[in-house]
Amino acid sequence: MGRAFWRTYWGTIGFFAALATFVAIFALAGMWYVSRGKDDGDQFAQCRQGQVAGGTSAIGGPFELVNGAGETVTDKDVLTKPSLVYFGYTFCPDVCPLDNTRNAEAVDILEADGKIVTPVFITIDPERDTPEVMGDYAGYLHERMIGLSGSPEQVKAASQAYRTYYKKQPAEDGDEEFYLVDHSTFTYLTLPEHGFVEYFRRDVTPEKMAETVSCFVDNM
């Protein structure tokens, strides 16, 4: 037999060997994915975008704050429906308005699909963001958005429960009313009876956020 025959023969063998290897890897990957979903017993496994250090139980928890009407409320009063919780402040020049607007847009997309989700905005600047200020600001962004403030101690406790970061910066030009606050920018999804289940970074679009939230709601 000539060289051409053997080249064809070994080429064919090599092709089927490579194909068999690919099929085996794909099958193993599929088995790992399925077994992973079964082993951890997570009803929302197919919805999650990533892992949370320490698990979802490490984030969220009870809080006591004040709403726009001046009423003291707890997490049980506020988070009665699927909710998107964001920590920021009304004097924030760019980040907070954009993030809250994105959250409001996602809520509208979900509502069009028959899913009611509550947007929640918690201040990390209670010195300037009074309950009334938060109520007005939240209402301007979305008719169902709940704005929450409170004492510095109440705000700190809520922030710590969700493991957020914030730090007041020195006032500019000696004017104590004009200062910025550094803060983390995650949005947290909470579900009744489940608490915190997922977080969203700033680069997530309203459409992608709505798609992910919808998955969680459908699997409640």
pTM, rounded to two decimals: 0.80
**For each of the chain's 220 residues, which pLDDT tens digit applies?**
444 444 444 444 444 444 444 433 343 344 333 333 443 578 999 999 877 767 888 899 999 999 999 999 999 999 999 999 999 999 999 999 999 999 999 999 999 999 999 999 999 999 999 999 999 999 999 999 999 999 999 999 999 999 999 999 998 777 778 899 999 999 999 999 999 999 999 999 999 999 999 999 999 9
* Residues 119 and 103 sit within 8 Å (Cβ to Cβ): yes
> What radius of gyration do the chain's Cα atoms show?
24
Angle, alpha carbons 72-168-187 (nearest 5°): 60
Measuring CA to CA, which residue among 91, 105, 65, 217 is closest to residue 166?
91
The position carrying tokens 């992608």 is 208
